[in-house]
């Protein structure tokens, strides 16, 4: 095969020194590129007054990147607007937070057109192009308009919403039509794929064809579910590093005679943090005898701060954590430790290892890599317990976690009690099954399955017809 060109909204390659503060997606994409040698194209993360020049190209740690800046209007309309205020909340079932504004849609189209025009000269005939996530759905259409016949695949990292929800989006049909300019469209789970199919069959008079293909809008696209995993091997190595062991020891020392419950996520309303705090509060209220034996550590680095909904959730969590500590803390103990700082990946590994419970309760999540990282970090002889939302894509694979409905503080409280009192043999049995999956269905398996499926699609003769 030719090169692999990865396109994503943000390009932020890890440094490779274990001190990354980037998330799992960036690690996954960088690993894919090192394996196949290629190019990573997207936004630099910066804004500039003039942003329509050629990309800045650089190479570090085996990964070549080509990045462009956004101007202020693009940043407001495409990134904060259509991506963060329209598609993200809608795809996470938050109609109440979804903003429909024509200027956002126009900014989205404009940036996708510009990305395509800037990327076009860098594409060689045999390159495979792999586009990531909801920011860039129309990119293949724009590339086809520029006569690109290469195989182009799309992978959606977030949920695909139920049909009745999706049709509330003005222009929903055009967005789905644009997905038919790809050769392969991948989702995290069979459920999300099914929701997409349902739309295509009932709303776009589409049909299902043999070989995992769908036909609609006069075109055919191959589809599939490709659950993303973590780099379990890399994570295992991080754990043995000096920084990870030191962090684990610090956590263990600061929780002597107590059990640590840990949550780690970007501060986002989809992650169910408010409901989680309420669940923990309920646990404290229901179990006075266990109160002083536990500590909940919530790490939640702030994200998307210029969007109102994110400022609001932050204010509510500040109030809630303050209320719980105010109600239950004593002179020598407080139940919640809530930090908005970003930690290094190796420090996170040490924190997971020190925690007896991993509490992962998103209201909706495409996959959720934190659940898998928590599993990978456990001591095989004395593992902790994973409590996981049934609405995370990961619940499909991690069946041996304690699966809960994250909307119910009672269910969270009951699961906490069960996890904290679970005997060692049950913990080991559950963890082995979870870990087997995390190790087997890792990021390399995800990447290889996706790339193989994309390679398997017959190449097109022309860009626009099919």
# binding residues, ligand GDG (CB under 6 A): 25
Q: Compute how many other C-beta atoms are within 10 angstroms of the C-beta atom of residue 248.
A: 21
Distance CA 441, CA 458 (A): 27
Distance CA 36, CA 14 (A): 17
> Shortest gap between Cβ of 345 and ligand GDG (angstroms)?
4
Asked whether 65 and 8 are in contact (CB, 8 A), the reply is no
- What character string, x for contact with ligand GDG (CB under 6 A) and - otherwise, covers 271-310? ----------------------------x-x---------
Q: Give the 3-state secondary structure of residue 338.
A: strand
> Shortest gap between Cβ of 285 and ligand GDG (angstroms)?
29
- What character string, x for contact with ligand GDG (CB under 6 A) and - otherwise, covers 430-449? --------------------
> Shortest gap between Cβ of 459 and ligand GDG (angstroms)?
27
| Of the candidate residues 77, 183, 373, 442, the single one contacting ligand GDG (CB under 6 A) | 373
| Of the candidate residues 14, 24, 153, 272, the single one contacting ligand GDG (CB under 6 A) | 24
User: Is 365 designated active site?
Assistant: yes
- Residue 392 sits at φ, ψ, to 5 deg, of -90, 140
Residue 365 forms beta bridges with which residues?
392
Q: Which is nearer to ligand GDG, 264 or 363 (CB)?
A: 264
Residue 403 forms beta bridges with which residues?
388
| Of the candidate residues 4, 25, 193, 262, the single one contacting ligand GDG (CB under 6 A) | 25
Task: Please pick, among 157, 183, 346, 442, the residue that the annotation labels catalytic.
Answer: 157
Taking CB under 6 A as the rule, does residue 364 contact ligand GDG?
no
Taking CB under 6 A as the rule, does residue 262 contact ligand GDG?
no
Taking CB under 6 A as the rule, does residue 367 contact ligand GDG?
yes
| Of the candidate residues 365, 400, 411, 442, the single one contacting ligand GDG (CB under 6 A) | 365
Q: Which is nearer to ligand GDG, 203 or 448 (CB)?
A: 448
**Cβ partners under 8 Å of residue 54, min gap 6:** 118
- What character string, x for contact with ligand GDG (CB under 6 A) and - otherwise, covers 322-361? --------------------xxxx--x-------------
Q: Give the 3-state secondary structure of residue 325.
A: helix
Taking CB under 6 A as the rule, does residue 83 contact ligand GDG?
no
Taking CB under 6 A as the rule, does residue 265 contact ligand GDG?
yes
DSSP codes joined into one string, 76-119? IIIIIIIIIIIIHHHHTT-GGG----HHHHHHHHHHHHHHHHHH
Q: Which is nearer to ligand GDG, 119 or 348 (CB)?
A: 348
Q: CA dist 279 to 92, 272, 404, Å? A: 21, 10, 11
Asked whether 322 and 344 are in contact (CB, 8 A), the reply is no
- Residue 175 tokens read as 């967005």
Query: Could you say which residues in the range 130-189 bind ligand GDG, by CB under 6 A?
Result: 157-158
Which residue stretch of 138-146, 202-210, 259-267, 434-442 sits at the interface with ligand GDG (rule: CB under 6 A)? 259-267
73's enclosing H/E stretch is: helix 72-74
Nearest to 342, CA basis, from 292, 404, 267: 267
**Eight-class DSSP state of 431:** H
Nearest to 340, CA basis, from 325, 353, 321: 321
User: Is 246 designated active site?
Assistant: no
Q: Give the 3-state secondary structure of residue 224.
A: strand
Taking CB under 6 A as the rule, does residue 369 contact ligand GDG?
yes
- Give catalytic residue positions: 157, 365
Interface contacts to ligand GDG, rule CB under 6 A = 20-21, 23-25, 157-158, 228, 264-266, 299, 301, 342-345, 348, 365-370, 373
């Amino acid at each position: 095969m030719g090169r692999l060109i990865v396109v994503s909204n943000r390009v932020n390659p890890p440094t490779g020194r274990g001190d990354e503060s980037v998330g799992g997606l960036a690690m996954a994409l960088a690993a894919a590129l090192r394996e196949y040698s290629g190019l990573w194209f997207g936004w630099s993360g910066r804004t500039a007054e003039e942003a329509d020049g050629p990309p800045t190209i650089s190479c570090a740690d085996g990964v070549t990147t080509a990045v462009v800046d956004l101007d202020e209007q693009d940043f407001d309309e495409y990134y904060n607007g259509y991506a963060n205020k329209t598609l993200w909340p809608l795809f996470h079932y938050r109609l109440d937070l979804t903003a429909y504004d024509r200027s956002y849609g126009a900014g989205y189209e404009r940036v996708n057109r510009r990305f395509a025009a800037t990327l076009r000269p860098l594409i060689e005939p045999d390159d495979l192009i792999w586009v990531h996530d909801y920011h860039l759905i129309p990119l293949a259409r724009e590339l086809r308009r520029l006569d690109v016949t290469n195989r182009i695949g799309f992978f959606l990292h977030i949920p695909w919403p139920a049909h009745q929800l999706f049709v509330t989006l003005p222009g929903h049909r055009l967005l789905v039509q644009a997905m038919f300019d790809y050769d392969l469209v991948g989702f995290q789970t069979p459920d999300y794929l099914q929701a997409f199919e349902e739309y295509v069959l009932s709303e776009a008079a589409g049909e299902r064809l043999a070989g995992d293909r769908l036909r609609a809008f006069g075109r055919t696209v191959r589809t599939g579910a490709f659950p993303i995993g973590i780099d379990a091997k890399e994570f295992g190595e991080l754990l043995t590093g000096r920084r990870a062991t030191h962090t684990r020891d610090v956590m263990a020392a600061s929780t002597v005679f107590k059990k640590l419950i840990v949550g780690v996520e970007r501060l986002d309303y989809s992650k169910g943090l408010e409901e989680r705090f309420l669940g923990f509060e309920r646990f404290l209220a229901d179990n006075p005898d266990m109160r002083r034996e536990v500590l909940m550590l919530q790490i939640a680095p702030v994200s998307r701060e210029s969007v109102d909904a994110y400022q609001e959730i932050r204010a509510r969590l500040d109030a809630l954590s303050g209320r719980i500590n105010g109600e239950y803390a004593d002179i020598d103990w407080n139940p919640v430790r809530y930090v908005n700082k970003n930690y290094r990946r190796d420090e996170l590994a040490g924190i997971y290892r020190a925690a007896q419970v991993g509490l992962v309760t998103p209201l909706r999540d495409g996959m959720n890599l934190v659940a898998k990282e928590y599993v990978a970090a456990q001591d095989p002889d004395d593992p902790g317990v994973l409590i996981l939302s049934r609405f995370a894509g990961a619940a499909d694979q991690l069946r041996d976690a304690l699966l809960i409905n994250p909307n119910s503080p009672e269910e969270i409280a009951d699961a906490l009690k069960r996890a904290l009192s679970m005997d060692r043999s049950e913990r080991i049995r559950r963890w082995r099954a979870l870990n087997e999956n995390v190790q087997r269905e890792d990021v390399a398996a995800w990447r290889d399955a996706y790339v193989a499926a994309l390679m398997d699609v017959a190449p097109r003769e022309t860009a626009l017809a099919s």
